[in-house]
Amino acid sequence: MSSLHGFGLGILSVNAQSESLDTYFPHPLAGVSGSEAEALQGVSGVLDDAQLNELAHTLRKLGNDAMATLATRLAESSQPVVATSLSSNAPPTSVEEAYLKLHLISHRLVRPHETDLSGIFGLLPNVAWTEQGPVDLRELTQRQLDARLRGEILEVSSVDKFPKMTNYVVPSGVRIAHTARVRLGAYLGEGTTVMHEGFVNFNAGTEGPGMIEGRISAGVWVGKGSDLGGSCSTLGTLSGGGNIVISVGRECLIGANAGLGIPLGDRCTIEAGLFVTAGTKVSVLDADGNTVETLPARSLAGKDDLLFRRHSTTGAVQCLTNKSTIALNEMLHANN
């Protein structure tokens, strides 16, 4: 039986040399199989109006009215339209494939690490992101001059390989106080609140509900009901050649200005200001507060009900069983 890891019809942005800058996929598909996968298997590249209308007819016969309607609307547009299919979960080989994979995550069709993003930095161009869309950096000066001559200002919000998510996808049931701090390719589960100083990178995100006032680095997954305090940090896998996937379990609390460098189990707490890395020496305490053993924090990775704190006099990092879990304010996460 035929299958596709993903498929999308997208609006393509290009530079003066017809090189791809980005692609907007309003209705991507994941895990396509059966007769629909067979019909889409050979559909790829820039499509003209006739091809789009033929595709719409085929999709409507297969019962996919949403994608059929999209194809019809795109046929009426003057913008270049590209069909992109992912026959398997392999690393992306083009800008269009990279953007489709990022859309699949932000649309909650796949979770972080469920689609291969290897080599994505080498594929994506570094562009100026403006209110007129992406602009090739080699063309930016002329575009700014053209705008000034019209009595306008071309606003450049960032210069980056990744755009902000909300210009492409706004998931249901979330609040994002500062949209520039959530990149396309982030996964925000229902009930997630990202406050002004919160940050969510691509291929990372939250199961939801959750309160994010700190940093979720690339590759990090945060479980249901967890709270990342102001200016706290999680180590990603992009810096220092690391390959350990950092995660935060369910109903955890990472205090303000704290940090995490190991996978954390459920119902764990890291006190404010304490950064726990894999090599941090931790004194494990028994019920009476006596040190049972001292070991590196990596030995406690993934274990539940732990409280990490620093002794206020000696400065030693301590760990004890934490039977009291945090409770998120349900009203804060009703993001309807």
The residues carrying an active-site annotation are: 213
Contacts of 152 (CB under 8 A, 6+ apart): none
For 169, phi then psi, to 5°, come to -140, 130
C-alpha separations of 3 from 34, 40, 54, 112, 131 in Å = 7, 9, 21, 21, 37
Type of residue numbered 68: A
Sheet holding 233-234, edge to edge: 233-234, 259-260, 275-276
Round to the nearest angstrom and report the end-to-end CA distance of the chain: 39
Of 302, 24, 56, 7, nearest in space to 168 by CA: 24
| Alpha carbon distance 122, 259 (integer Å) | 29
Token pair for 284: 């494990």
The SS3 of residue 200 is: strand
**27 within 8 A of 109, measured Cβ to Cβ:** no
| Torsion angles phi and psi, residue 22, rounded to 5 | -160, 170
Distance CA(112)–CA(102), nearest Å, equals 10
The whole-angstrom distance between residue 80's C-alpha and the CA centroid of its chain comes to 26
Q: Which residues of 199-227 are buried (b: 16+ CB within 10 A; e: fewer)?
A: bbbbbbbbbbbbbbbbbbbbbbbbbbbbb
